[in-house]
Structure 1
């Protein structure tokens, strides 16, 4: 972020304090206007000619840069996987509740692991239940892995779209 006298361009495209377009003007004139309003002149990009600049209050520029860093850091973090547990003999109303929970989690940007606890010969019923849930949630998320049957549980992970 280039501020005030460090801007070397002869002309800048200036944006005012409240986002209004002040047009293209000489850098010296823009600096004088910034000093008159007791704010900083900040260059937002050096890639265009004339470079776009903003008038920003001195503390606000640092705060905006800090917020941009935090947003970038947030995007770099891996997905959170939230687990929802079910049983093969789940009631229709309870299944609707779990479906809504999964949809809410997917819309929030987190992944959902649907786990069905199995005892005895309920594997086929558990797999069918998970297939129906995946089909119902296809508008909010997509399968990352296939349905995995292992020992006492069947599981599938859904990632947000």
Structure 2
């Protein structure tokens, strides 16, 4: 809230250079802000009495957005990349998929390994856990299992994360 939007009877006022001006009516605080050709901005509305500061609102808003952008730059986002396998995958194909997963893991992404079953493959699920174990054994040096292999519908899913 700024200037006339502040409807509180009494507010604690902080001057433009940071010194405490004390508790006063919002009218008096507005008068002080106008004399300094600045805005009265409510910065702590939940305090008793609410805290207002005499500042240039445009500059304050600009500083806030710049701080938010800076914080956004520093945060790291992790994506979940999916690798799809089939129960009758060959050794070389498995190695290729493992190398792809290794790239994802070294970039800092998580990997979702999905072993898809189609048609009659559903009858031979006993061997499928072995395929996921082999896949993990190829990545043991860079990966750690975050969620172990679990059957969900027509696919067996396992999540891998980067080893710290």
CA separation in 2, counterparts of 1:152 and 1:91?
Answer: 20
CA separation in 2, counterparts of 1:139 and 1:67?
Answer: 36
TM-score, normalisation: structure 2: 0.52
Tell me which residue corresponds to 1:17.
Answer: none
TM-score, normalisation: structure 1: 0.53
SS in structure 1 of the partner of residue 84 of structure 2: strand
Which structure: larger Rg?
Answer: 2
Q: How far apart are residue 68 of structure 1 and its match?
A: 5.5
CA separation in 2, counterparts of 1:151 and 1:70?
Answer: 38
Q: CA RMSD in A?
A: 2.1
In 2, are the aligned partners of 1:143 and 1:157 still within 8 Å (CA)? yes
Stretches of 4+ aligned residues off by more than 2 angstroms: 65-71
Q: How many residues align?
A: 95
Q: Does 1:159 align with 2:161?
A: yes
CA separation in 1, counterparts of 2:123 and 2:152?
Answer: 12
In 2, are the aligned partners of 1:84 and 1:115 still within 8 Å (CA)? yes
CA separation in 2, counterparts of 1:107 and 1:68?
Answer: 25
Gaps of at least 5 residues in structure 1 are 1-64
